C-alpha cells in the first residue's frame, strides 16, 4: 500500500514537471518508447504488465506461468535494459 502511494506521488510530481518542460519531456518519452519497443518479447510483456497494468510480480508470474523469481528477474532485466538503452540514446544524441 505504501509503495503504491509513493508511486502515485511520484507520478504526480512527474506530471507537474512534464507540464513545466514539455519539449524535454517529449524527447524523454520518445527515448522511452524506443527503449521499450527494443525489449525482448518476454521482458517487454513483464514491464508492460508491471508499469501499465500495475500488476505485482506475483500477479505477473501467475498470468505468464512463471515462477515469482523469474517474473522479478525479467522485470529487473527489463529495467536495466531500459536504462542502458536510454543512456545510449542520450549519448548518441537521439
26-53, pLDDT tens digit by residue?
778 888 888 999 999 999 999 999 998 9
Whether residue 61 has pLDDT greater than 80: yes
What pLDDT, on a 0 to 100 scale, did the predictor assign at position 25?
Answer: 66
The answer to whether the beta carbons of residues 29 and 82 sit under 8 Å apart is no
- Percent of the chain having pLDDT more than 90? 52
Domains contained in the chain, CATH given: 21-92 (1.10.10.10)
pTM (2 d.p.): 0.69
**How many H-runs (helices) and E-runs (strands) does the chain carry?**
5, 0
Indicate left, alpha or beta for 66 from its phi (over 0: left) and psi (-120 to 50: alpha): beta
Helix axis angle, 68-92 to 57-64, nearest 10°: 110
Whether residue 21 has pLDDT greater than 70: no
Amino acid at each position: 500500500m505504501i509503495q503504491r502511494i509513493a508511486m502515485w506521488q511520484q507520478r504526480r510530481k512527474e506530471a507537474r514537471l512534464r507540464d513545466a518542460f514539455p519539449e524535454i519531456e517529449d524527447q524523454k518519452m520518445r527515448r522511452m518508447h524506443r527503449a521499450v519497443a527494443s525489449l525482448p518479447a518476454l521482458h517487454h510483456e513483464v514491464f508492460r504488465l508491471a508499469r501499465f497494468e500495475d500488476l505485482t510480480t506475483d500477479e505477473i508470474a501467475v498470468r505468464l506461468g512463471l515462477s515469482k523469481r523469474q517474473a522479478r528477474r525479467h522485470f529487473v532485466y527489463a529495467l536495466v535494459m531500459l536504462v542502458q538503452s536510454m543512456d545510449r540514446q542520450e549519448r548518441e544524441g537521439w
